[in-house]
């Protein structure tokens, strides 16, 4: 924490200097003022955290100064100093927003104590309000933008689904298209909004633990089951559960989910009686479940249950009209976050943003804009602030950075999948095999990277 800034306003010069000395020794920045006028000058010029304010000043009453202070910045802490044993004006000051008061004569230790406590309380208050702001909606980060017809359609669907209390929803879309945002919106716009939304990423939890995470277990159900444990479904009761990457749920577990969807009942592992719950299931997948059904990796009956209501998020490259408006929204946010003043995006940079294929979709765009904002020292965002992948398109037609292992110059057309594979390999190599960094650079999640590596049989 930085040093606190104190202002001591006291017309008794000796007392004022003594107090100043005490607090300088404690390592605060201290300023002094012997009159209301001087005090006001300092307050308007500097960012003061706390004022020790004498109630009786030569040119104004302390209460008047207090009013001024609260006008200038209501967050400034004010501790009144009063020589009068009559507590009335001090009480008045407290009503007007002073934090505390001290009666002269006082012990210096007492003053120190009061000041420290006030500053501590303020730090705590700031922490709490920052935390509240973050909680409040992780907003504006939580909002879904997009004016394209496709996104308008998505928003309409979300509203319709939100109105139905129990219908399961399946959200499909490539990585980074906003599936989790949609899940949040469905829950928040539904009548269940004040109940929990429990999220679980089926790919992130080891297969053998997923069942007990979801459904819980009875005491003694297996060797490690020392206590009864409630699962996510129970915790989500009356609310919603978001099953992310549902395609990773192993086949043997799928009937249990199907049963919940059909009867709203389940049993804990080791349990002998059914538990009734009321939960909306929102599932998401960035893989085509129909294909997984064909491959025998996903149950058809479960897919049909989930498919009652499907929300498909189109990849960003199929709704190009959203790219520039989204870029501007992210730019605005970054300006605020990084204290920048980037006014716009140059035409040539816009062109690059529009030409790029965005395999990592909105998440990738968000990352690219964040990096650009950090790099840009200017008021206009230009091509040089954009990463190489985007600028690869600058010169000619399609010249994606193809890794060395590609046999050059045979002229054969490359499939998009092959291109993706090579791009992943190249990025992996550039990041020295570090998967977190690779995923970040590619603008996809680690689990998506893992899936794609599996799909393309990339070792690692
Ligand atoms: N329409 C949108 N408007 C604003 N931000 C968006 C939009 N779509 C996605 N984002 C942002 O992009 C990022 C990725 O979104 P989200 O996590 O919802 O994607 P996802 O489809 O769940 O991806 P994954 O499959 O990798 O989990 C988030 O930071 C989200 O806030
Ligand atoms: Mg997600």
Q: Which residues of the chain have pLDDT under 50?
A: 1, 133-134, 136-141, 395-409, 411
Whether residue 365 sits in one domain with residue 437: no
CATH number at residue 156: 3.40.50.300
Whether residue 358 sits in one domain with residue 384: yes
pLDDT, tens only, 307-351? 989 999 999 999 999 999 999 999 999 998 888 999 999 999 999
Output Rg (C-alpha) for the chain, integer angstroms.
31
Any domain includes 391: yes
Q: What's the pLDDT score for residue 129?
A: 58
Q: 435-442 vs 416-430: helix axis angle to the nearest 10?
A: 130
Whether residue 260 sits in one domain with residue 380: no
CATH number at residue 345: 1.10.8.60
Ligand 1 atom nearest the C-alpha of 448 is 26
Pick the residue whose CA is nearest to atom 8 on ligand 1. Answer: 178
Number of Cβ within 10 Å of residue 3's Cβ equals 11
Q: How far apart are CA 395 and CA 183, in angstroms?
A: 40
Is residue 270 within 8 A of residue 238, CB to CB? The reply is no
Ligand 1 atom nearest the C-alpha of 445 is 26
Distance 179 CA to ligand 1 centre (A): 6
With residue 182 as reference, give the H or E element that holds it: helix 179-188
Number of Cβ within 10 Å of residue 252's Cβ equals 9
Instruction: Considering every ligand atom shown, identify the ligand nearest to the alpha carbon of residue 144 and give its number.
Output: 1
Whether residue 424 sits in one domain with residue 445: yes
Any domain includes 454: yes
Q: 62-72 vs 88-95: helix axis angle to the nearest 10?
A: 10
Distance 307 CA to ligand 1 centre (A): 22
Distance 103 CA to ligand 2 centre (A): 59
Whether residue 47 sits in one domain with residue 165: no
Ligand 1 atom nearest the C-alpha of 322 is 1
Listed residue (424, 460, 449, 458) closest to 286, CA to CA: 449
Binding-site residues, ligand 1, Cβ < 6 A = 141, 144-146, 173, 175-181, 286, 362-363, 366, 444-445, 448
CATH number at residue 20: 3.40.50.2300
Whether residue 308 sits in one domain with residue 210: yes
Tokens of 310: 């499907």
Q: What's the pLDDT score for residue 333?
A: 92
Whether residue 456 sits in one domain with residue 392: no
Pick the residue whose CA is nearest to atom 27 on ligand 1. Answer: 175
Bridge partners, residue 376, by sequence = none
| In the chain, % of residues over pLDDT 70 | 90
Pick the residue whose CA is nearest to atom 25 on ligand 1. Answer: 175
Tokens of 422: 């090579």
Q: What's the pLDDT score for residue 292?
A: 93
Mapping DSSP to helix (H, G, I), strand (E, B) and coil, where does residue 139 land? Answer: coil
Last residue of a domain, one of 359, 376, 398: 398
Last residue of a domain, one of 314, 347, 364: 314
State which of 178, 183, 358 you would mutate to test the pocket of ligand 1, scoring each by most atoms of that ligand within 8 A of its C-beta. Answer: 178
Domains in the chain: how many in total?
Answer: 4
pLDDT, tens only, 153-169? 999 999 899 888 899 99
Whether residue 306 sits in one domain with residue 207: yes
pLDDT, tens only, 418-450? 888 888 998 888 888 888 788 888 888 777 888
CATH number at residue 405: 1.10.10.60
Any domain includes 144: no
Whether residue 247 sits in one domain with residue 115: no
Q: What's the pLDDT score for residue 124?
A: 76
Instruction: Considering every ligand atom shown, identify the ligand nearest to the alpha carbon of residue 184 and give its number.
Output: 1
Is residue 183 within 8 A of residue 282, CB to CB? The reply is yes
Q: How far apart are CA 444 and CA 423, in angstroms?
A: 13
Tokens of 22: 């005490």
Distance 142 CA to ligand 1 centre (A): 9
Distance 178 CA to ligand 1 centre (A): 3
Whether residue 426 sits in one domain with residue 333: no
Mapping DSSP to helix (H, G, I), strand (E, B) and coil, where does residue 222 land? Answer: coil
Q: What's the pLDDT score for residue 2?
A: 62
What burial class does residue 365 get, using C-beta atoms within 10 Å of its C-beta: 0-12 exposed, 13-18 middle, 19+ buried?
A: buried
Whether residue 428 sits in one domain with residue 391: no
Ligand 1 atom nearest the C-alpha of 313 is 21
Listed residue (315, 284, 306, 351) closest to 150, CA to CA: 315
Distance 67 CA to ligand 1 centre (A): 47
State which of 247, 363, 443 you would mutate to test the pocket of ligand 1, scoring each by most atoms of that ligand within 8 A of its C-beta. Answer: 363
With residue 351 as reference, give the H or E element that holds it: helix 347-355
Residues having C-beta closer than 5 Å to ion ligand 2: 179-180
Listed residue (216, 236, 217, 232) closest to 278, CA to CA: 236
- Residue in the block written with tokens 């089926």: 202
Q: What's the pLDDT score for residue 1?
A: 47
Last residue of a domain, one of 293, 314, 335: 314
Q: Three-state SS string across 62-119, please? A: HHHHHHHHHHHCCCCEEEEEECCCCCHHHHHHHHCCCCEEEECCCCHHHHHHHHHHHH
pLDDT, tens only, 355-385? 999 999 999 999 999 999 989 998 999 999 9
Mapping DSSP to helix (H, G, I), strand (E, B) and coil, where does residue 256 land? Answer: helix
Residues of the domain holding 411: 400-460
Q: What's the pLDDT score for residue 397?
A: 41
Distance 285 CA to ligand 2 centre (A): 8
Listed residue (172, 215, 214, 169) closest to 190, CA to CA: 169
Is residue 166 within 8 A of residue 207, CB to CB? The reply is no
Tokens of 427: 């990025």
Distance 430 CA to ligand 2 centre (A): 25
Instruction: Considering every ligand atom shown, identify the ligand nearest to the alpha carbon of residue 137 and give its number.
Output: 1
Tokens of 176: 């980074």
Any domain includes 20: yes
For residue 68, what are the contacts with CB-CB under 8 A and spacing of at least 6?
36, 40, 43
Distance 180 CA to ligand 1 centre (A): 6
Whether residue 102 sits in one domain with residue 33: yes
């Amino acid at each position: 924490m930085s040093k606190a800034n104190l202002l001591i306003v006291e017309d008794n010069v000796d007392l004022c200097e003594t107090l100043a000395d005490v607090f300088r020794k404690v390592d605060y920045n201290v300023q002094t003022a012997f009159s209301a006028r001087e005090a006001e000058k300092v307050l308007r010029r500097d960012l003061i955290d706390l004022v020790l304010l004498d109630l009786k000043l030569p040119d104004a009453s302390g209460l008047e100064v207090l009013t001024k202070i609260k006008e200038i910045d209501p967050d400034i802490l004010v501790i009144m100093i009063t020589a009068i044993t009559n507590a009335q004006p001090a009480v008045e000051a407290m009503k007007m927003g002073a934090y505390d008061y001290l009666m002269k004569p006082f012990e210096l230790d007492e003053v120190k104590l009061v000041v420290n406590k006030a500053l501590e309380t303020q730090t705590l208050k700031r922490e709490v309000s920052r935390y509240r702001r973050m909680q409040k909606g992780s907003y504006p980060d939580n909002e879904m933008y997009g004016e394209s017809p496709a996104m308008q359609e998505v928003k309409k669907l979300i509203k319709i689904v939100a109105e139905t209390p129990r219908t399961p929803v399946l959200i499909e879309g490539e990585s980074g298209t906003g599936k989790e945002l949609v899940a949040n919106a469905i829950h928040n716009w539904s009548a269940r909004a004040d109940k929990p939304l429990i999220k679980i990423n089926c790919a992130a939890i080891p297969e053998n633990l997923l069942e007990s995470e979801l459904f819980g277990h009875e005491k003694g159900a297996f060797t490690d089951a020392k206590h009864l444990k409630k699962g996510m479904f129970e915790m989500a009761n009356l609310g919603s559960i978001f099953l992310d990457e549902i395609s990773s749920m192993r086949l043997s577990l799928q009937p249990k989910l199907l049963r919940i969807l059909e009867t709203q009942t389940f049993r804990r592992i080791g349990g002998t009686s059914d538990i009734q719950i009321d939960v909306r299931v929102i599932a998401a997948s960035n893989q085509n479940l129909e294909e997984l059904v064909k491959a025998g990796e996903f149950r058809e009956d479960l897919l049909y249950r989930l498919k009652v209501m499907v929300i498909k998020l189109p990849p960003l490259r199929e709704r190009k009209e959203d790219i520039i408006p989204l870029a501007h929204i992210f730019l605005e946010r970054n300006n605020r976050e990084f204290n920048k003043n980037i006014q716009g995006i140059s035409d040539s940079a816009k062109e690059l943003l529009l030409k790029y294929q965005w395999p990592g979709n909105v998440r990738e765009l968000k990352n690219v804009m964040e990096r650009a904002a950090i790099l840009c020292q200017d008021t206009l965002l230009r091509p040089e602030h954009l990463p190489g992948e985007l600028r690869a398109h600058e010169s000619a037609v399609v010249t994606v950075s193809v890794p060395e292992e590609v046999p050059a110059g045979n002229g054969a057309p490359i499939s998009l999948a092959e291109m993706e594979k090579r791009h992943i390999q190249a990025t992996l190599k550039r990041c020295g095999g570090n998967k977190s960094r690779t995923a970040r650079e590619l603008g996809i999640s680690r689990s998506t990277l893992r899936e794609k590596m599996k799909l393309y049989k990339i070792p690692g």
